Structure formats: C-alpha cells, structure tokens
Amino acid sequence: MKPARLGLRRYLREVMACRLCRNVALLVLLSILAIEGAILVPSYRNYEEDLLLRLEQVGAAIFAAALRGEGHHDERDLMLTARLTLAAPEVVGAAIYGLDGKLTGVFGEAPPLQPGGGESARRTADGSRYAVVYPGARLRLPFTVVANLDAAWIAGELRAFLWRIIALVLLITGFVTLATMAVIGHFVLSPLLHLRHHLNAAAANPEDHGNIALGGERWDELGEVMQQFDALLHEVSAVHQSARERLAAMVDNSTNAVFAAEPDGRLVYANRAALHLSKTMEVAQLNHLSLPLIITSEGRELSMARYLLESVGVAEVELQDAEGQRVTCMIGSNLLAGRDGRPSLHYAWAMDITARRKDEEALLQAMEDSEIANRAKTEFLANMSHELRTPLNAIIGFSEVIRNETFGPLGQPQYREYVHDIHGSGQHLLAIINDILDLSRIEAGVTSLTETETDLISLIGECVHLAQGRIDSGRARISVHVTADLPLILCDRRLLKQVLLNILSNALKFTPDEGVVTVTVGRDDVNGGAWVKIADSGIGIPAGQLDEVLQPFTQIEQSYVRRHEGAGLGLPLAKQYMELHDGRLEIASSISSSDDKDDDSATGTTVTLRLPAERLCGEATMKPRQAAS
C-alpha cells in the first residue's frame, strides 16, 4: 500500500506515532552514535598529533633557516642571531646547547626540556606551549636547540574539528534515522496499519469476508503473512457463520422457549417454542401485544420484555398467552454484556411444567393417601392384635388347666397330647401377635422407653439362661466372653432384654447341635460406647438378603421351611429397639458356596449391638431425652 493512499499528513502522523518506528529509529540512532563515537575519539587524537607534528616541523624550519648561515664568530653573535626567531609567531623562546651539552644561552621563554633528558617533546598542562628538542644533526648545525613553541592555537583547531565532526555525525544520523523511519513506514507500518484496520473490522463482523479481506499483491515475507491472514480470515468467517447457523438452528428447534430483548425493552428474538407457547406467529406480535404476560410468585404482572430487564436467575412463574390461558413455567433469565461491560442483550429460556406440577400434586396426594392407608393398617393391626390376644389368652389358660388336669383326669392319654399342642400353638400365636403389636406401636410412634440403670453383663446372663432353656434351642451351647469392664447402662431393660432374646433365639434355631454360639462384650476404642457381638456357626445368610432380613415379615426360606416357624419380626423389632436407644444393629454373615453337606468351610452370622457412650452411666453427661419415640 503506497503512503499517498493514506494521505501525506496522516501518513507522517502515523509514522511519528508508530511505536515500532520510534523504537527502530532509536536503535539506529544509538547504533550510529556508538559507531561514530568509536571513530571520533581516535580521529581527534590523530588530528591533535598531526597539528603538533606540523608545529614541530615549522619550528625546525625556522631555526634551521635562521641559524644555518655563516659569520657566527662567537656565542654572542649566535645568540643575537637566534633572537631574531622570536619574530616568528610560532616561537616564544629557546635554549642553545653546545655539542658537549653545555648551555650556550637562553632567549624568550625558557623551555622546560633539556637535551639528553629522555624526552624529545613536551606539551604544557594548559596546552599553550610545546617544547621540542632539535638535535644538531636534524638542523645540520654544530649545536642543539631546545625550542619553546606557541601551541595555543591548536586547542581552537581541535574544537573546530570536533564541532565539524559532531555536525557531520548528527547530519548523517538524522538522515539515516529519518530514512529508516520512512522505509519502515512504507514497507512495514503501512501494511500493519492496513492489517490492523481489517482486524478491527473482522472483530466487529467476522462474517463479512468480502469487506475485510486484505487483497493486494506483495512479494515479500509480509505479503505472505497478509495472504495467510486472508486465508485464515476466510476460514474463521466460514466457521463463525457455520457455528452461528448451527446454534441458531439448535435454539430455534429447542423444545424450551427462548426469548431475547434489547436493553431498550424490545423483544428481538423468540424461537418456535416461544411463539407456540405465546400462541403468536411472530416477534412483532409479542411486542405489539406486550406478550407473553408473566405473573410472578408475588402476584406481579409484567410483559416478558420487562421481566427480562428486571430479573436474573431461575424462578417459577405463570405465563399467560395470547388466548388468555395460563400455564406454569420454569424460567431462567440472564444477560449478555458487551465489550464496554454494559448489558447488550437480555435473554431467557422458559419450560412449560404444568404437566409436571400436576404429576407432582398427584404424587403428593398418592403419598398422602398411602400414608393414611399405612396408618390405618397400623391402627388395624394394633386393634386386631388386642382383639386376637383376648381369646388367645383364654385358649392358653383353659388348655393349661386341662393339660395339668386341675379338675380331674382326662381319661384318654391322646387328649393330653392334643391339649399340649393346643397350648403350644396358642403361645406361639400370642408371641406373633405381641410382636405385631409392638411393631405397630413403634411405627405409630407411641413406644416409650422406661429407662433404668442396668447391669449389662447380668442382663446378658439372664437372656442366655432363658434362650438356652427354650424347647427349640437345640443342643448348641452359648459361651459368654467379657473383654472390658462396663459400668451400668441407662436403657429400657425389658426392650433390651427382648433384643438379646430375639437374636440369641435366632442364633440357636439356625445353629446345628454340634455348633456353638458366642456372646462377646466390649468397649469401642473410638467413641467409648459398648458393644455386644452374638456370633453363631449356623447356616448363614446370603449376602443379597442381609438388608431384607431387617424388614418386617422377611424370612430365609430354606431355614424356615426346613425346621422353624416364625413371622420374620425378631430382627426388625431388635433393630427398632436399638434405634430407640440411639444405638444400631449390624449384621455380617458368610455362607458356604459348596453344595456338599459335609463341607466344613466357615459359615455363620454375627450380629453386633452398639450402644453410644452417652448410655454408659458415669462415663458421660446424659442429655435430656423425650419420653416417647
């Protein structure tokens, strides 16, 4: 690009304002000054030596011409002739020495040198005098002359020489610097300014490739850069346009409604979902009718454009369309800032959640109905348990009277066996009903704790004795191991006793006669609580059923079908009672993977009961507790 295309004044202004040109020019200026300085100092010294040599030669010529003639009969005539040299402006004095080194005479200003002193010339400190020793052989005279010459003019000559050199250096430096700036401006700055102009245009509208392409032909490296820039700009423009089109297509085909408004409060965009949600055909209708109408949770009514200007974030609102119908929407609004930091576009997405809200309401209603039904079930079980327990008590009582033959013998021994079965079945059914009643009370939240200070070791001993004496306990033996001293614990003795009996009964029921049940009592090293582990060597529980056995009415099919009866309430009740005591019940079990009945691989179940440190009397400060759970 030629400078004339920018205009001469603009071109010069750009060149002078160009930081690159100034930096290069400064570098050139400093380089030239350094080079000229390196040349100037030796030149100055050489010129000074030349002037002194010329003065020395002039002095030699003067004394040789004045003293080389004949007729010097004595020293007096010689000195008279020598004084005539003072007429020369270069001579201010001299001293004459014979060939034997004896001083013949001095006239004018005596020179500071003597022959044979080792110096042939000396300049004074102020530079005004220059003393030179002229041997007789040099002057072709029978004596030696030491001249004191006037050198004051040399300083002026040196100053004039220095100023001429400085002026020449400045002239050359200024010319080279300006020429460098002009060259850089022509070959570098102008293309760079042109490139910067097009880069700004590309930043403003990267898709207008035709107006921002550099074009032109240059056959240097900068021309290659500009050609690469054109290619890159074309690629960026195509990618930007493609990305914008894809983004526009995605937004326009989105199932969520999308709105956009200018800072002046005018909607400028609404995708298909937005128009469908608003029951309109185009954005102009939305602006004309101030639709869609937004009703906030506070009851405010405002148009979508106004809502976009005032709100940022996600909220649930009602949206009224052109037909006056309202739907519940989740709307998220935000803003897009321009380069100056001020909002340039306000936008939002909106999603119709009317159906979801109806589903949620239906779900809440179903949950409420389920809770009511569950509560009714619990109340029914509790009532029925009471209703069933009353006749069962009568059956058990009368069967016990008949079994004991309180009022006389039965007569037939077979009746005694029947009565014994009636009594056992009644007790079993009563135990099941009692468990159901207890579980119902827990689920209803009316079970209360009657807390007393209890000796845990003694309580375990009682439970072991009772469990070992049950008819269905088998011949497996229970061993107790205490690994730490325990203080009294604060608990509901009856409920905790039932927990221990339930777990011990299960362990004995599912352990073969040659097996063993171990009860271990200890302290938790971490939180200081107490724990009781009841381990058996029974059939074990499959890993997939460990969580199921803690649910009410869940049974391990093989064991219950094979040998024992039960409703599957023992472990769930034990878990609930432990949680009432702020404790927990943990189960770990292993089961043999072999189908061989003679396989002696390790099987069995370990149930761990954990009580918190707050339950240990004297170990921690007890917190106030509510009477009901």
Q: Encode pLDDT of 5-34 as tens digits.
A: 545 666 666 666 667 667 777 777 788 778
Question: Residue 516: helix, strand or coil by DSSP?
Answer: strand
**Phi-psi sector, 175: left (phi>0), alpha (psi -120 to 50), beta:** alpha
Average pLDDT value over all residues in the chain: 79
Between 543 and 459, the more confident residue is: 459
The residues pairing with 294 across neighbouring beta strands, listed in sequence order, are 302, 319
Between 207 and 271, the more confident residue is: 271
Q: How confident is the model at residue 334 (pLDDT cuts 50, 70, 90)?
A: very high
pLDDT of 619 above 50: yes
**Phi-psi sector, 121: left (phi>0), alpha (psi -120 to 50), beta:** beta
Ordered DSSP codes for 144-185:
EEEEEEE-HHHHHHHHHHHHHHHHHHHHHHHHHHHHHHHHHI
pLDDT score recorded for residue 455: 92
**The tokens of 267 are what?**
């909607």
pLDDT of 1 above 90: no
pLDDT score recorded for residue 520: 94
**At CA 625, angle to CA 620 and CA 626, rounded to 5?**
170
Q: Which of 508, 514, 503 is nearest to 478 (CA)?
A: 508
> Which residues are within 8 A (CB) of 324 and not within 5 positions of it... i.e. 6 or more apart?
none
pLDDT of 70 above 90: no
Q: How confident is the model at residue 562 (pLDDT cuts 50, 70, 90)?
A: very low
The HSE-up count of residue 74 (CA atoms within 13 Å, CB side) is 1
Segment 201-221 shows an average pLDDT of: 62
Convert the pLDDT of each residue in 102-137 to its tens digit: 888 899 888 988 888 778 888 888 888 999 998 888
Distance CA(530)–CA(533), nearest Å, equals 10
pLDDT of 471 above 60: no
Burial (Cβ within 10 Å: 0-12, 13-18, ≥19) of residue 26:
exposed
Q: Which of 521, 486, 495, 519 is nearest to 579 (CA)?
A: 495
Backbone phi, psi, residue 251, to 5°: -65, -40
- Residues 173/36, Cβ–Cβ less than 8 Å: yes
Between 547 and 560, the more confident residue is: 547
pLDDT of 213 above 80: no
Ordered DSSP codes for 249-297:
HHHHT-SSEEEEE-TTS-EEEE-HHHHHHHT-SSHHHHHHHT-SEEE-T
Q: How confident is the model at residue 412 (pLDDT cuts 50, 70, 90)?
A: low
pLDDT score recorded for residue 624: 34
> Which residues are within 8 A (CB) of 464 and not within 5 positions of it... i.e. 6 or more apart?
478, 480, 504, 519
**The tokens of 271 are what?**
């995708």
**At CA 516, angle to CA 514 and CA 519, rounded to 5?**
170
Segment 366-394 shows an average pLDDT of: 71
Residue 99, CA distances (Å) to 29, 71, 96, 270 in order? 59, 19, 10, 121
Convert the pLDDT of each residue in 267-322 to its tens digit: 999 999 999 999 999 989 998 888 899 999 888 999 998 999 988 899 999 999 99
Distance CA(274)–CA(256), nearest Å, equals 7
Distance CA(441)–CA(577), nearest Å, equals 11
**Domain annotation for the chain: domains and CATH numbers:** 1-204 (no CATH), 209-249 (no CATH), 254-352 (3.30.450.20), 362-437 (1.10.287), 448-592+600-615 (3.30.565.10)
pLDDT of 4 above 50: no
pLDDT of 560 above 50: no
pTM of the predicted structure, to 2 decimals: 0.40
Q: Which of 392, 419, 424 is nearest to 405 (CA)?
A: 419
pLDDT score recorded for residue 330: 92
- Which range has the worst mean pLDDT, 57-61, 227-231, 523-527? 227-231
Cis, bond preceding 292 (omega within 30 deg of 0)? yes
pLDDT of 617 above 70: yes
pLDDT score recorded for residue 623: 38
Convert the pLDDT of each residue in 149-196 to its tens digit: 898 888 888 888 888 888 888 888 778 777 777 777 666 766 776 677
DSSP letter, residue 74 = S
pLDDT of 621 above 60: no
CA 423 to centroid of chain Cα atoms: 74
Q: How confident is the model at residue 596 (pLDDT cuts 50, 70, 90)?
A: very low
pLDDT of 469 above 80: no
Segment 591-596 shows an average pLDDT of: 57
Portion of the chain with pLDDT greater than 90, in percent: 15
pLDDT score recorded for residue 127: 84
Question: Residue 345: helix, strand or coil by DSSP?
Answer: strand
pLDDT score recorded for residue 162: 83
Distance CA(444)–CA(376), nearest Å, equals 10
Question: Residue 125: helix, strand or coil by DSSP?
Answer: coil
